[in-house]
Amino acid sequence: MHKRVLVTGAHGYIGSHVARLAHESGYIVDGLDICSSDNNVRPYCDNLFYADIVNMGAYPGQDIEYDAVIHCAGLISVNESMDNPSRYYEVNTSGTLSIINKIKHKHFIFASTGGAFDPISPYAKSKILAETIIKDVCKDYTIFRFFNVAGNNGEFRQICTPSHIMHMAALAATGERDKMTIFGNDYDTKDGTCVRDYVHVVDLASAIIASIDNPANTEYECVGSGSGYSNLEVTNTMKQASEIDFTVEFGERRAGDPGKLIVETMSKYVNIQHTLYEMCKSAFQMEATDKEKELSA
């Protein structure tokens, strides 16, 4: 009998990639999200349910028992969390407890953040609180701390307001932005810009799928590449991948941004298959394809 999993935030960037890969790996997949998006996961989901994780109420899927709940739903903008911290605690912390209490499951898999290692922002702090709840309440769990997630599988995309550097660089390369702004060039790093660990979203989704039948029950599992790239290096790699020399300028630091975040101990579930260049190339190709569609419409 095939095992059944629920992916929350199924129409989102990570959730859509996870839903497709889980389906392709032989699991019966249900999806839960607050609304639909351009990421059409219906071909990969047995059921799609729509509910607000903070105020779920009754919905048709709440009586199903899942072998695993893969909780990807949440708010993700560091900058936005500085302006509206209460909303981040409400969705990322209270919403996680709501999912735990409302949905029957054997294994709870949580999408956390590498920012939890240097919790400057309410976003990172809201994820840490959710991690604590999971460890206190759930019998079997796996907590993934994702570092910067990038790239795509050629079908799904980032649908949020652009805030990640690779997404913004891809938009600059296609001309959707007139320039690329790097926030801060006075950090204590090799070129003064922030250093981050990047992981291709397909490699991340593969790590999640590998954990479904094998709960970690550890403090956390880190998902990255183990390599640190500065914002300037990412921008220059996007120029190489796109073959476009777009304009780059430096701006003020963003509140809540630590100078350096790199995976030190990689999760046993991780098997890196994609390079930074491949992440940039796929991000650029997605934006370029969208622009071509707009121009031909």
Residue-range domain boundaries for the chain: 4-289
Predicted local confidence at residue 157, as pLDDT: 87
Respond yes or no: is residue 198 known to be catalytic: no
Catalytic residue among 123, 141, 187, 220: 123
Q: For residue 219, how far is the Cα from the chain centroid?
A: 19
Residue 13 half-sphere exposure toward CB, CA atoms < 13 A: 22
At residue 263, what are phi and psi to the nearest 5 degrees?
A: -65, 130
CATH, range 4-289: 3.40.50.720
Predicted local confidence at residue 162, as pLDDT: 63
Predicted local confidence at residue 90, as pLDDT: 97
d(CA 269, CA 218) in angstroms, rounded, equals 13
d(CA 40, CA 42) in angstroms, rounded, equals 6
Question: Which amino acid is present at 120?
Answer: I
d(CA 256, CA 116) in angstroms, rounded, equals 12
d(CA 101, CA 99) in angstroms, rounded, equals 5
Nearest to 88 by CA among 56, 111, 119, 122: 122
R_g of the chain, CA atoms, integer Å: 19
Contact (CB, 8 A) for 137 and 102:
no
Contact (CB, 8 A) for 100 and 138:
yes
Contact (CB, 8 A) for 61 and 6:
yes
Close Cβ partners of 46 (under 8 Å, ≥ 6 residues apart): 4, 28, 29, 30
pLDDT one digit per residue (tens) for the chain, 297 residues: 689 999 999 999 999 999 999 999 999 999 999 999 999 999 999 999 999 999 988 777 888 999 999 999 999 888 899 999 999 999 999 999 999 999 999 999 999 998 898 888 999 999 999 999 999 999 999 999 998 899 999 999 887 666 688 999 999 999 999 999 999 999 999 999 999 999 999 999 999 999 999 999 999 999 998 889 999 999 999 999 999 999 999 999 988 788 998 888 999 999 999 999 999 999 999 999 877 777 776
Q: For residue 142, how far is the Cα from the chain centroid?
A: 16
Q: Are strands 228-230 and 195-200 parallel, antiparallel or unpaired?
A: antiparallel
Predicted local confidence at residue 297, as pLDDT: 61
Could you give the C-alpha distances from 149 to 59, 106, 244, 280, in angstroms and in order? 31, 27, 23, 11
